[in-house]
């Protein structure tokens, strides 16, 4: 038997393994997109009729946290799917649960972010009360939140965090941990970089209406564009311009903001932990 004939079975077996691994990664990505789709469907059902505009009421802690987790899965899973797929390829068959642990760690970080957001909102409401009504300080705060979010888009910290999100190989190699527990820690760390990249956009979502599917979709679209298009600086500058324009309109002419539900003169209900 010649060397070429001996090599054919080996090459064939290698191709089968490669195709099998590719199918696994494709299945993983499709699963994340399916979970994202289910999250959008569930969120749409839960939020129907709840959009009261900027600083929409968050409800009870347990209800808000449940909605927040599903929201983050819906908004973030598509953009993190390539990182999870690459991680699955690097772990291969050594730790079958590692990709799931990575995803869980990522979502855990965003869950902790939701807890912090609720605590800040609740504390602000208890301390400020009626002073945060929409026709008092509510509208200026919402507009300034959007302007601050626009400025953050152009900062070095934003650039560093976005770079980590856009370069999954560098992140994985630089923070590698063994086993499924390592996957959990790496996912949580990746989620922390993602929070650093996207916290201002999430603040903008609160300022526009956190229970608004329309604004949720807009923010999710901005996040996806920033993380996937090849022109990184163009994407961040474009996002900054969008946020700045919305902030100026919210300050000067909120009725001109498309899709915005203007609150009543009541205190900013976001700052309440009630039902």
Question: What local confidence, expressed as pLDDT, does residue 103 receive?
Answer: 92
Question: What local confidence, expressed as pLDDT, does residue 80 receive?
Answer: 87
What are the φ/ψ torsions at residue 24 (nearest 5 degrees)? -65, -45
Tokens representing residue 249 in the block = 């309109």
Distance between alpha carbon 127 and the CA centroid of its chain, in Å?
Answer: 29
Of the chain, the percentage scoring pLDDT greater than 70 comes to 79
pLDDT 10s digits, 190-214: 999 999 999 999 999 988 888 888 8
- Distance, in Å, from the CA atom of 3 to the CA atom of 242, rounded to the nearest integer, reads 62
Angle between helices 139-152 and 179-208 (to 10 degrees): 130
Question: What local confidence, expressed as pLDDT, does residue 137 receive?
Answer: 77
- Distance, in Å, from the CA atom of 74 to the CA atom of 243, rounded to the nearest integer, reads 22
pLDDT 10s digits, 43-102: 777 677 666 667 677 778 888 888 898 888 888 888 888 888 888 888 875 677 788 899
CA distances 193 to 58, 171, 261, Å, are 25, 10, 32
Evaluate if residue 140 carries a pLDDT over 50.
yes
């Amino acid at each position: 038997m010649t060397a070429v004939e001996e090599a054919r079975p080996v090459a064939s077996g290698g191709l089968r393994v490669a195709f099998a691994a590719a199918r696994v990664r494709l299945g993983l990505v499709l699963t994340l997109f399916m979970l994202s789709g289910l999250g959008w469907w569930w969120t749409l059902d839960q939020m129907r009729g709840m959009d009261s505009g900027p600083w929409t009421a968050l409800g009870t802690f347990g209800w808000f946290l449940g909605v927040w987790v599903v929201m983050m899965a819906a908004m973030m899973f598509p953009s993190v799917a390539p990182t999870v797929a690459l991680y699955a390829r690097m772990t291969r068959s050594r730790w079958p649960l590692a990709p799931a642990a990575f995803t869980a760690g990522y979502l855990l970080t965003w869950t902790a972010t939701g807890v912090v957001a609720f605590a800040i909102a609740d504390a602000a409401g208890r301390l400020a009360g009626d002073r945060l009504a929409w026709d008092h300080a509510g509208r200026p705060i919402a507009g300034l939140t959007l302007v601050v979010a626009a400025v953050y888009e152009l900062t070095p910290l934003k650039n560093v965090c976005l770079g980590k999100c856009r370069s999954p190989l560098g992140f994985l190699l630089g923070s590698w941990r063994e086993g499924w527990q390592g996957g959990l820690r790496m996912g949580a760390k990746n989620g922390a970089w993602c929070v650093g990249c996207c916290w201002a956009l999430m603040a903008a979502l609160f300022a526009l209406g956190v229970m608004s599917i329309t604004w949720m979709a807009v923010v999710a679209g901005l996040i996806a564009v920033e993380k996937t298009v090849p022109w990184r600086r163009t994407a961040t500058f474009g996002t900054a311009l969008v946020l700045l324009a919305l902030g100026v309109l919210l300050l000067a002419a909120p009725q001109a903001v498309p899709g915005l539900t203007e609150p009543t003169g009541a205190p900013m209900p976001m700052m309440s932990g009630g039902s």
